[in-house]
Chain A
Amino acid sequence: MLKITADIFSGIPNPEWIVDGDDAEAVLRDLAQHRSAVASLDSGFQGLGNRGLVVEALSEHVTEEHGLPEIFRLANGGTQMESKGIEVAVRLINAMLKERAGKHPAIANPDALTQGMRDFLKENITTSRTAIEVSPPSASLTTVNPEEIIAQFECAYEATWFNPGFWNNPAHQSKNNCYNYATNRRTDTFAQPGRASGHIYSAINCTQVTDGAVSDGASIHCAPAHEAPRWFMALVIAPGPGFVDFHWYRKARQGFWGHKPGGTAARNYDNSGHVIYDPRTANRGPYTIFCRFMYAQRRMIVN
């Protein structure tokens, strides 16, 4: 999932939108093979006017699987392959009118996503000032199979390499919790199960929290291949008395489990300092009830 910002205005907020699913994957695959079209955030034109598109990954596997920065610019005159950047930018701009483009908590003003805005941005992006076209890169990155299927338990699922740096960045760490981490969706909203779908839990127990996550798009059953990436999660509960809360873990490709207790740092060890190979037997402090394993499906939205 990608958050796109057209960095063009000065006085009014820049338009932002979400590109996800096949559109996002196609763009990332394309850019992975044309790295010279990708500019760092502080490069290229930075003055008044069209400063290109800012592309930000909202899931950690984006950078891992495609070898791209977590956040970068396109089509602002900062690369040696500007025409490719403009071509991709136009595709991203065309996606701004799709139904889900404005339906995400990270998008502050979905009403700005109009046909007029789309046409305005396309016109500006294609008349970039400082495009310098050089020959295509001689050694593009090898395309890596984006999802390594790991068959375990009864269902197929995907896993990323453990990447705590994606979550422990000071700009994001305190704004994302265990649910964000487990679903691999960095919304900066301290997400709650069921809030995105309007069915937030009314009590903290296994049933209510599971139902909230399922209404957001998680599955307690095997998820079909077209729902990949399907992140493998585990839900636990602190039942009280006194201390009542929920907590989530997500399996990493190395075989252990990662988690992020509230606004603290993401990690792969338990309260005893041991690497977590099974959340059912890990030291979980007051989170004594193990509820179940679940899958965060591709269509899942959290907030």
Chain B
Amino acid sequence: MLRNFLAKNLLRSAAILCGFLLAVAGEGGLVYAQTNEPRARMILRVELLAYSGRENPSWQLTESESKRFFAIVDSLPKQPTAPVEESLGYSGIRVFCSDDGHHKSIITIFNTIVTIQQNKKSAELRDHGRKLEEWTVKTGRTKLDPELYRYVLMELASGSQN
């Protein structure tokens, strides 16, 4: 019984800890808001921002990939900046975090800038060396057309590495 009680409360604590820490730009500067949505329940769908005429390819992260994704996001420093505008050609990736079919937040990652949008608010983080972007693209290795996958990795390698 004690073991069940401990397990239940540990799970609850973990869920709260996994609540989505979101840096939101408020009037007085950056503040942190925490949602009550446990990450464990979230489904993360990645869209490769690439095409104009065709539909963009997309895939879903596994549970372990989702955990890793959030861990990297949590480690990124804040960087208030204007969002990067998409252009023709590869323009980064967008991760839709949803629960019960409803988008809770959208994370756009391109060229060292990570933009998090949630509840009509947004915040920017810095992706030094485009590590989060590259890691997320690589989760699509077996889901993307191999030539497109190679193309995007080449774009990443030739782009800014600040």
Contact = CB atoms under 8 A, between A and B. Distances in A.
Interface string B5-48: 00000000000000000000000000000000000000000000
B70 interface: no
B106 to A, nearest CB: 11
Contacts of A179: 53
Interface size class of B (residues with CB under 8 A): 20 to 34
A270 B88 CA distance: 8
A231 to B, nearest CB: 17
Contact of B53 (A240, A241, A262, A284): A262
B147 A192 contact: no
A120 interface: no
B53 A271 contact: no
Interface string B88-107: 11110000000000000000
Contacts of B49: 262, 264
Contacts of A284: 88
Given A177-B52, A192-B53, A247 B88 contact: yes
A190 B89 contact: no
Interface string B41-78: 00000000111111110000000000000000000000
The contact size tier of chain A is 20 to 34
A240 B87 contact: no
Contact of B87 (A193, A260, A285): A285
Contacts of B86: 261, 264-265
Given A243-B148, A261-B88, A286-B89, 16 more contacts: A177-B53, A179-B53, A193-B53, A204-B53, A240-B151, A242-B151, A246-B53, A247-B53, A261-B86, A261-B87, A261-B91, A262-B49, A262-B50, A262-B53, A287-B52, A287-B89
21 contacts: A177-B52, A178-B53, A193-B53, A204-B53, A204-B54, A242-B150, A242-B152, A243-B50, A243-B151, A245-B51, A245-B52, A245-B54, A261-B52, A261-B87, A262-B51, A264-B49, A271-B87, A285-B88, A285-B89, A287-B88, A287-B89
